[in-house]
Amino acid sequence: MYNSPFTPFGPTYLVGTSPVQVASTNNDNPTSYRVRNTSASAQYLSWVAPSPGNPTPTITVAAPTAGSPKYATLGFLPSSVEVFGGIPANAWFQASAAGAFEVTPGEGL
């Protein structure tokens, strides 16, 4: 991961309750994603790496509960913006609510 300001590598995608692939458009793999919760309430966002042939994956988005952790899922405060690294390049994302997130691929903090 780079320690520079966030640099977009492609467009910003609206992510809701169906899987959306957030892909770069500059022939570089993103090392980070800028994520904005567009909702005035807390929401969850899950992701999966692309598979060979790049089929649309099945993603289950659910809040973790005691004794039931959720893999590749993050919770977001209302109307928050965060940048994350370590998520696979050109990943697929799905939210817990319709149109809940804007996700931009890129690099930096």
Beta partners for residue 76, in sequence order: 43
Q: Evaluate whether residue 109 is within a structural domain.
A: yes
Q: Evaluate whether residue 66 is within a structural domain.
A: no
Q: What is the mean pLDDT of residues 9-31?
A: 95
Kindly tell me if the per-residue pLDDT of 1 is higher than 80: no
**Cβ atoms of residues 36 and 101 within 8 Å:** yes
Q: What are phi and psi of 106, to 5 degrees?
A: 175, -150
Domain carrying residue 35: 1-50+93-109
**Cβ atoms of residues 93 and 20 within 8 Å:** yes
Which pLDDT value is given to residue 2?
Answer: 56
Closest by Cα among 87, 79, 75 to 24:
87
Q: Evaluate whether residue 75 is within a structural domain.
A: no
Q: Evaluate whether residue 24 is within a structural domain.
A: yes
Q: Is 55 helix (H, G, I), strand (E, B) or coil?
A: coil
The tally of domains found in the chain comes to: 1
Rounded to two decimals, the pTM is: 0.94
Instruction: Output DSSP code: residue 83.
Output: E
Q: What is the mean pLDDT of residues 39-61?
A: 96
Kindly tell me if the per-residue pLDDT of 18 is higher than 70: yes
Q: Evaluate whether residue 3 is within a structural domain.
A: yes
Instruction: Output DSSP code: residue 104.
Output: E
Q: What is the pLDDT of residues 87-105, one digit of tens each?
A: 999 999 999 999 999 999 9
Kindly tell me if the per-residue pLDDT of 21 is higher than 90: yes
